Amino acid sequence: MRRWSIPVIDIFGIHFRIHFSFPLMFCLVWILEAGHGPNVGYCSFMLMLLIFFAVVMHELGHILVAARNGIKVRSVVLLPIAGIALLDEQAQRGLDARREIRIALAGPAVNLLLAALVGSSILIFHPQWQLFGFPWLTPFNLPRSLVWAQIFVGALNLLPAYPLDGGRILRAVLASNGDQITATRRAVSIGQFFSLALFFSGGAVFLGSDSNNLWIMMAGVFLFLAAQLEDRSMILQAVLERVHVRDVMITDFITLSPAETLSDALQRPMDPPQEEFPVVRGTDMVGVISRQQMADCMEAEGNGYVQSAMRHEYLVAGPQESLAAVLRRIGRSGLAMIPVVEGDYLIGIITFQNLMRKLTALSLRRTTPKPSAPNAPAAPQQ
């Protein structure tokens, strides 16, 4: 998503970016309206600004309600139909369904409220602007377009098409009685269906009728574009952010004692084979060591104790942490194993191999959708 957008401004620590489809829309409007009146370029630009204004107000609604719920928005990417607000990753982990729905509803609510305010003012003070005249969105009646741009952006975002707000609400509802991964995947497929449906229904009606349908068709294109662009990075990201360490950690693993000799440790029968080991004294974790390290140490210095060969510095993960956070940490540290601790207790480990297996399983599940297992573990909600 970032690759297709340019940074514009930082306000209150929130990075605002504009998606390339905004200038694209401007060109489309210009081309479409070229034969319809004078100053087409100027009027099209103003219409684009009105839609931009609607999207910005929409995002402000999300940002304010998120802030009221103690959640920080990290960055916002503005598209012609909606913005994508990326929440602070720390906050996202603790986001429950009720708060997610509240934040998702805030954007469309602002649009519909503004539309009602401006619309009623027009009806009372300037009825000659013909609020309900066709086409609703046109560069040649900007006050009317101001109202309809708000309705358009607000209503469109309520469609149950992930990554739009309606889709987020749908996902939150699905996830509250199933697992997060299945819920996200299902919400994404419904989103793709909707974008195609919008595109073709807009296109079909357009053939016989006015330019309102063209807007619907364009919305379909942008939604499709957004869903496609989001598909890999954002969906995987959404999955990774929502899968918790607890869901993927290995709980059946072998620990070594610091007083064990290297040859004893290496000769231990292991099924399944394990390459990396937490070293535990009593109930305290004191280090980590890999099979390779032990073998190297034995070759260099002869048989010694685990204590002298182990690494004392290591990272730990909490069971509620997201997979995304842990993946970043593994990447940075070059570690192949991360112990999972709860309080002072070692409750599991995450290894690079088991993470890769899990990710492969996730991507396979994405390409060959199958009904979720009835006893799939639900991701714990905080």
Beta-strand runs (E) in the chain = 5-11, 14-19, 73-78, 83-87, 276-281, 284-290, 337-342, 345-351
Q: In what order do the strands lie in the sheet with 5-11?
A: 5-11, 14-19, 73-78, 83-87
76 vs 243, which CB is nearer to Zn ion? 76
CA-nearest of 298, 289, 292, 297 to 258 is: 289
Site size for Zn ion (CB under 5 A): 3
- Calculate the alpha carbon distances from 116 to 119, 133, 146, 151 in Å: 5, 16, 11, 9
- Residue number, nearest CB to Zn ion: 107
Nearest residue (CB) to Zn ion, 63 versus 131: 63
Q: Which stretch binds Zn ion (CB under 5 A): 86-94, 150-158, 184-192, 224-232?
A: 150-158
Cβ closer to Zn ion: 165 or 247? Answer: 165
Residue type, 136: W
Looking at the Cβ atoms of 54 and 309, the one nearer to Zn ion is 54
Task: Give least dist CB 164 to Zn ion, A.
Answer: 7
- Interface with Zn ion includes 165 (CB under 5 A)? yes
73 neighbors 60 (Cβ within 8 angstroms) = no
∠ CA(344), CA(345), CA(349), 5° rounding?
125
Q: How far is the CB of 59 from Zn ion (least distance, A)?
A: 7
Q: How far is the CB of 109 from Zn ion (least distance, A)?
A: 10
CA dihedral 1, 228, 84, 247 (to 10 degrees): -90
> Looking at 34-42, 43-51, 160-168, 343-351, which segment touches Zn ion (CB under 5 A)?
160-168
Residue 266 dihedral angles phi and psi, to the nearest 5°: -70, -25
Closer of 111 and 307 to Zn ion (Cβ): 111
Q: 275 phi and psi, to 5 degrees? A: -95, -30
| Candidate segments 7-15, 165-173, 240-248, 301-309, binder of Zn ion by CB under 5 A | 165-173
Q: Of 60 and 327, which has the nearer Cβ to Zn ion? A: 60
Binding test (CB under 5 A) with Zn ion, winner from 21, 145, 150, 157: 157
Site for Zn ion in 84-113 (CB under 5 A): 107
Q: Read off the amino acid at residue 176.
A: S
* Min dist. Cβ of residue 180 to Zn ion (A): 20
- Output the smallest distance, CB 315 to Zn ion, in A: 36
Nearest to Zn ion of 157, 184 (CB atom): 157
Minimum CB distance to Zn ion smaller for 184 or for 290: 184
In whole angstroms, how close is the CB of 107 to Zn ion at the nearest point?
A: 3
Q: Give the Cα-Cα-Cα angle 99, 103, 106 (nearest 5 degrees).
A: 140
φ, ψ dihedrals at 336, nearest 5°? -100, -10
Hunting for tokens 């829309």 — which residue is that?
25
Q: Which two tokens stand for residue 26?
A: 């401007």
Q: Does 154 bind Zn ion (CB under 5 A)?
A: no
Stretch that binds Zn ion, among 71-79, 151-159, 179-187, 267-275 (CB under 5 A): 151-159
What token pair was written down for 336?
A: 């192949």
Q: In whole angstroms, how close is the CB of 166 to Zn ion at the nearest point?
A: 9
CB of residue 157 to Zn ion, shortest distance in Å: 5
Contact 190, 252 (CB under 8 A): no
User: What residue ranges bind Zn ion (CB under 5 A)?
Assistant: 107, 157, 165
